[in-house]
Amino acid sequence: MGEERKHHHRLGKTLPEWMEKKNENSYLQLKQLELEALAMAVSSLRTVASQNSHRDPLTFAGNSSYKP
């Protein structure tokens, strides 16, 4: 009985440490994913902006009589 309690105490000491490490890692992974998603969004917005910048606003509004 005494031996069992000692073992449990040791587990209780190491478990929170391990959980902390695990949570820290998943938090960092989450931040990494957020940054990647943000970078993708920014680059796609840039692509759209660069495609549209040389077009006339009138063609954008659907003015079919306008010939570039």
d(C-alpha 26, C-alpha 1), whole Å:
37
pLDDT at 31: 93
Please say if the pLDDT value at position 51 is more than 60.
yes
pLDDT at 36: 95
* pTM for the whole structure: 0.43
d(C-alpha 26, C-alpha 4), whole Å:
32
- Residue carrying structure tokens 């000491």: 13
The whole-number average pLDDT for the span 29-53 is 87
The CA–CA distances, whole Å, from 51 to 40, 41, 48, 66 equal 17, 15, 5, 18
The whole-number average pLDDT for the span 17-37 is 86
The whole-number average pLDDT for the span 34-47 is 91
